[in-house]
């Protein structure tokens, strides 16, 4: 992943409408986005009958590799590489595989990584990444750094290698340019309407209710300013992007609706709450 191309977000292919907007239909009037979705598979099962307790028992499609019920691997211990978290057979504690900087990498970026990698292991942890980014005037809280590491590695190991560092670095550059584009008064903050435009430029169409929740959550003043600063803007983008990407994995028809098991829902949402 090399970051978003400016103004593209993550379309499914071609010139796609923002995710969350009404999908194209081949015929007939398209229902408004947010209308009541059709019932999934008819009547839901009755709880308390032959079904296992809600949240109990093994899910029909576990969010993890074989042996997901085992204890997570310890950091630093060699583990088999799994697909990114959320894909079939993935694990939120999957170990990273060593990587190298791709040919043509800016020597300054590579030097920044190597300076942070004090033990020469080929990986840097959360505090080292925080320090490396601060050398480029990108100061973030550890929570934001944890979200960056989670989304760009697909794991909760909280270590990244050169390949992931490059993706993080250039994605942050792109998000900064988007923030500056919509911070028209150069106040260092963007308000709700500017945030909406910024998210639309990334391909995410959120409702006014969701927008208000985002501003309330990421406004450092607790809602008094009704605006968010750059570092919180990054955390906001990471949250919207991460949750949307996880939703897309289930929304295979791009209809704006998806079905989750209890287990997969918890594993989708919890990483964003405990980062």
Region 13-28: what's the mean pLDDT?
48
Number of helical H runs and strand E runs in the chain: 8, 4
Q: What is the pLDDT of residues 132-173, one digit of tens each?
A: 988 777 788 899 999 999 988 888 888 999 999 999 998 898
CB contact at 8 A, 94 and 157: yes
* Strand ranges inside 117-162, DSSP E: 124-125, 159-160
pTM of the model: 0.61
Region 72-95: what's the mean pLDDT?
41
Q: What is the pLDDT of residues 90-136, one digit of tens each?
A: 444 455 666 788 888 889 889 999 999 988 889 999 999 998 988 77
Count other Cβ atoms within 10 Å, centred on residue 161: 20
- 72 by Cβ neighbours in 10 Å (0-12 / 13-18 / 19+) ranks as middle
Q: Which domains does the chain have, with CATH numbers?
A: 107-273 (1.10.238.10)
Q: What is the pLDDT of residues 34-51, one digit of tens each?
A: 344 444 444 444 444 444
Residue 194, CB-side half-sphere exposure with 13 Å CA sphere:
20
Distance CA 219, CA 32 (A): 30
- What's the confidence (pLDDT) of residue 103? 87
């Amino acid at each position: 992943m090399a970051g978003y191309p400016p103004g593209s977000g993550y379309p499914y292919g071609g010139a796609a409408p923002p995710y969350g907007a009404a999908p194209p239909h081949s015929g007939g009037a398209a229902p408004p986005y947010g209308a009541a979705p059709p019932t999934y598979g008819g009547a839901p099962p009755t709880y308390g009958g032959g079904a296992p307790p809600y949240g109990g028992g093994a899910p029909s499609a576990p969010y993890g590799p074989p042996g997901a019920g085992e204890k997570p691997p310890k950091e630093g211990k060699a583990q088999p590489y799994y697909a990114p978290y959320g894909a079939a057979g993935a694990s939120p504690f999957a170990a990273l595989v060593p990587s190298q900087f791709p040919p043509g990498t800016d020597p300054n970026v590579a030097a920044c990584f190597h300076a942070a990698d004090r033990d020469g292991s080929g990986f840097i942890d959360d505090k080292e990444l925080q320090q490396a980014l601060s050398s480029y005037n990108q100061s973030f809280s550890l929570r934001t750094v944890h979200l960056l590491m989670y989304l760009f590695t697909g794991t909760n190991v909280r270590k990244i290698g050169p390949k992931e560092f490059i993706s993080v670095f250039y994605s942050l550059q792109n998000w900064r340019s988007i923030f500056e584009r919509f911070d028209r008064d150069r106040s260092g903050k963007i308000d709700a309407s500017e945030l909406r435009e910024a998210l639309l430029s990334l391909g995410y169409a959120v409702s006014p209710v969701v927008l208000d929740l985002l501003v309330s959550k990421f406004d450092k003043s607790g809602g008094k300013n009704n605006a968010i600063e750059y570092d919180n803007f990054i955390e906001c983008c990471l949250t919207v992007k991460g949750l949307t990407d996880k939703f897309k994995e289930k929304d295979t028809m791009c209809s704006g609706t998806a079905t989750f098991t209890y287990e997969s829902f918890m594993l989708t949402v919890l990483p964003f709450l405990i980062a």
